[in-house]
Amino acid sequence: MSGSRKDFDANDMSTLARNRNWPAAVRDFFLGGVGVLCCLCPAAPLAAKPATNAPALVWPAPPDEPRIAYVRSLQGPPDFGVQRSVFGRLAGWLTGSAPENGRLLKPFGLAFDEQDNLCFTDTGANAVSFYDRAAKKLRRWEQVGKIHFVSPVAVAKHGSVLYVADSALGSVVMFGDQGRFIAEIKADLQRPAGLTIVSNRLFVVDSLAQAVFIFDLQGQPVGRFGRRGGGAGEFNFPSHLGSDAAGRLYVTDSMNGRIQIFDGLGRFLHQVGRLGDVPGCFSRPKGVAVDRAGHLYVLDANFDNVQLFDETGRLLMALGQPGPQPGEFWLPNGIAINAANEIYIADTYNRRIQVFRLINPP
Q: What is the pLDDT of residues 59-101, one digit of tens each?
A: 999 899 999 999 999 999 999 988 765 544 544 444 333 445 6
Q: pLDDT at position 158, please? A: 97
**Sequence-ordered list of residues with C-beta below 8 angstroms from that of 248, at least 6 positions apart, any chain:** 261, 262, 263, 264, 269, 290
Q: pLDDT at position 360, please? A: 85
Of 175, 176, 167, which Cα lies nearest the Cα of 205? 167
Domain ranges within the chain, ordered by starting residue = 10-40, 58-358
- Where do runs of H (alpha helix) occur along the chain? 10-19, 24-40, 86-95
Give the total residue count for the chain. Answer: 362
Q: pLDDT at position 56, please? A: 84
Question: Per CATH, the architecture of 58-358 is what?
Answer: 6 Propeller (2.120)
Q: What is the pLDDT of residues 272-287, one digit of tens each?
A: 999 999 999 999 999 9
Q: pLDDT at position 73, please? A: 98
Is 82 or 268 the better-scoring residue by pLDDT?
Answer: 268
Pairing of strands 227-228, 234-235: parallel
Q: Please give the model's pTM, rounded to 2 decimal places.
A: 0.82
Residues 170-199, mean pLDDT to the nearest whole number: 97
Q: What is the pLDDT of residues 37-66, one digit of tens each?
A: 334 344 343 344 444 455 689 999 989 999
- Is there a contact between 233 and 242 (Cβ–Cβ < 8 Å)? no
Residues 245-272, mean pLDDT to the nearest whole number: 97
Q: pLDDT at position 121, please? A: 98
d(CA 337, CA 191): 25
**Sequence-ordered list of residues with C-beta below 8 angstroms from that of 19, at least 6 positions apart, any chain:** none
Residues 320-332, mean pLDDT to the nearest whole number: 97
Q: pLDDT at position 2, please? A: 39
Share of the chain above pLDDT 90, in %: 76
**Which helix (H) or strand (E) element contains residue 58?**
strand 58-59
Pairing of strands 221-225, 227-228: unpaired
d(CA 355, CA 343): 6
Half-sphere exposure of 121 (CA within 13 A, CB side): 28
pLDDT score of 255 more than 70: yes
Q: What is the pLDDT of residues 12-31, one digit of tens each?
A: 444 444 444 544 443 443 34
Q: What is the pLDDT of residues 98-157, one digit of tens each?
A: 445 689 999 999 999 999 999 999 999 999 999 999 999 999 999 999 999 999 999 999
Distance of CA 257 to the CA centre of its chain: 23
Q: pLDDT at position 82, please? A: 85
Q: pLDDT at position 55, please? A: 64
- Is there a contact between 288 and 296 (Cβ–Cβ < 8 Å)? yes
Of 112, 65, 70, 73, which Cα lies nearest the Cα of 316? 65
Q: What is the 3-state secondary structure (H, E, C) of 164-233?
A: EEECCCCEEEEEECCCCEEEEECCCCCCEEEEEEECCEEEEEECCCCEEEEEECCCCEEEEECEECCCCC
Across the chain, mean pLDDT equals: 85
Q: What is the DSSP string of 297-320?
A: EEEETTTTEEEEE-TTS-EEEEE-
d(CA 86, CA 255): 48
Q: What is the pLDDT of residues 208-233, one digit of tens each?
A: 999 999 999 999 999 999 999 999 99
Give me the amino acid identity at 192. Answer: P
- Is there a contact between 307 and 297 (Cβ–Cβ < 8 Å)? yes
Instruction: Please compute Rg for the chain using Cα positions.
Output: 22
Q: pLDDT at position 1, please? A: 42
Q: pLDDT at position 54, please? A: 55
